[in-house]
Amino acid sequence: MINTYTHNDITWIDLESPNKDEIRSIVERYNIHPLVANELLVPTQHPKVDLYGDFVYLVLHFPAISHQHGNRNRQEIDFILSEKLLITTHYDLIDPLHEFSKVFEVSSLLDKSTMGKHAGFIFFFIIRELYKDLARQLDTIEATLHHIESNIFSGREQQMVEKISKMNHDLLTFKQSIRFHKGIWESFEIAGMKLFGNDFFYYLRSISGEYYKIASILEGHKDTLLDLRDTNDSLLTTKTNSIMQALTVMAFLVLPPSLVTGLFNMQVPGLPEVGFWQVIMVMGIIVVSLFFIFKWKRWI
């Protein structure tokens, strides 16, 4: 599906799950390099940034933990960026792109000039919205971490093991999705300045700043989760040790009376006959004595 948006002399073309005919029409119309055209048809495994004369080609991956569309937990967006043209290609519905398209349409209808003089500004606003969405996803993760913490200290350590594992998976997915962004933005600063001039440097550096903010929050959440996992494991170990200690004490308390009972049940010539209550009394004395010994030793 092709969606085309224009503002003054700037054009933004958004391709959602494009087919070969749609790609061919865009490539022929805007004279896109054939190598880029081939990559637009299928998902790309790793992010990249390439400079092709008068346009830049970028591939970026973004995590989609809070709002998955399809069966993927990360989403790819391809960008083709020139002075007056921005082409975005993606294979799923990207919520921030969809929301930004509404803002872009309103700005075009109202003929506002806040979008900038070239397509680099449109790209900047889109990336900023994408990182804002990542920040919202991290806020959701933070709320879940608070929920896990409160349950850990409320005696629900066992129930939190699975939730901690799932949260660790989400954070790992998040990290893997954005781990190449730092290198991409460092390379894009050079390509962006060649394409849009030195005046655009502030916006290029601002994009890097958005990435570092997200990366910093992500590392903080990872550290918090590790601390919570260690605390949960310690509490589970302590609880398990207490249970094992109680079972061991019970076994020691039961073993001597069982031995006494076995001895009196033996048919040995010359062994005096002992009544039921006498056996019970002997067993009770042994159990009570052992109980106070264990108390004195602080084993229970």
Lowest mean pLDDT among 47-61, 71-85, 99-113, 163-177: 99-113
- Nearest Cα neighbor of 13 from 91, 79, 111 is 79
Split at pLDDT 50, 70, 90, the class of 224 is very high
116 or 147, which is more confident: 147
Q: What is the pLDDT of residue 216?
A: 94
95 pLDDT more than 70: yes
Split at pLDDT 50, 70, 90, the class of 110 is very low
- For 59, phi then psi, to 5°, come to -125, 125
Q: What is the pLDDT of residue 252?
A: 65
266 pLDDT more than 70: no
Q: What is the pTM of this model?
A: 0.75
- Continuous H helices in the chain: 20-30, 34-40, 95-110, 119-152, 157-178, 181-196, 201-265, 276-296
| Residue 105 CA neighbour count, 13 Å, CB half | 10
Cβ pair 130, 209 in contact under 8 A: no
70 pLDDT more than 90: no
- For 232, phi then psi, to 5°, come to -65, -40
Cα separations in angstroms, 248 against 159, 255, 296: 26, 11, 16
pLDDT digits (tens, 9 = 90+) for 180-202: 999 889 888 888 888 888 888 88
Q: What is the pLDDT of residue 211?
A: 92
Q: Identify the top-confidence range among 127-141, 243-257, 285-299.
A: 127-141
80 or 232, which is more confident: 80
267 pLDDT more than 70: no
pLDDT digits (tens, 9 = 90+) for 12-35: 888 888 888 888 888 888 888 877
